[in-house]
Amino acid sequence: MPTVFVDPERCIGCLQCEFACATEHSTTHQAALAPFEQPTPRKRIHVEAGPRPSTAFPNKCRHCDPAPCQQVCPTGAIRRDPDHDVVLIDGARCIACAMCAMVCPFDVITFYPLADGAAGRTVAVKCDACIERLRTARIPACVEACKVDALLFGELNEIVAAGRQRQTAAVLAATTTAEPARPMPETIVAWRDLGAATARAGGAR
């Protein structure tokens, strides 16, 4: 099954994936109107700052199989979609007991009132892999928004194989005159240069 793969070496922490995610899960699906909706549309992906300047990691649900959150849910609000193999939460059945958050190994479940929840109650919120997009053969909103390929969507083995090919090309390029098959985009290089300069300026104080 296709899945979203995270390449942390490429993430620059721009938060475009978070904004795209919240917009996709809004009522209007429009970037200009979504921030003014009530309740506020919530992101399902969480970009956290890395240990060094200009580094970050977009953390999201891995749709585990078996899924610990699904196993402990006392109301059966969490289920797996059989067609796309993603773990979904039914807001109408969620009682916000937080048992799913306690057992989640990746800390990706949050709790907010949602427009599609039962009477606006606070319910568990997590990545649903943009299931409505998948059902119409589109890629998740976070992947579509990422401009530096930190988020990729496809078959896991194919993505990993492509990564091995890039690493092989990089190693060979270091010992020969061959060019890397997929050099870092200029946006990432510039972002990291800015981070390094900021770190040097902070250390000089």
Q: Quick one: 136 and 201 in the same domain?
A: yes
Give me the pLDDT at residue 198, please: 87
- Chain-centroid distance, C-alpha 91: 20
Check if the beta carbon of residue 159 is closer than 8 Å to that of residue 165: no
Q: For each successive 10 residues of the chain (205 residues), what is the average pLDDT?
A: 88 95 95 92 93 88 96 97 95 94 96 76 95 96 95 90 84 69 80 87 64
CATH number (domain holding residue 107):
3.30.70.20
Q: Quick one: 141 and 199 in the same domain?
A: yes
What residues make up the domain containing 134? Answer: 1-60+127-205
Residue 116 neighbours by CB under 8 Å, 6+ apart:
91
Q: Quick one: 13 and 39 in the same domain?
A: yes
Give me the pLDDT at residue 119, please: 63
Q: Quick one: 194 and 145 in the same domain?
A: yes
Q: Quick one: 30 and 77 in the same domain?
A: no
Give me the pLDDT at residue 21, please: 97
Q: Quick one: 85 and 140 in the same domain?
A: no
Q: Cα–Cα distances in Å, from 76 out to 45, 49, 71?
A: 23, 34, 9
- Structural domains counted in the chain: 2
CATH number (domain holding residue 204):
3.30.70
pTM, entire model: 0.78
Q: Cα(31)–Cα(193) distance, rounded to whole angstroms?
A: 30
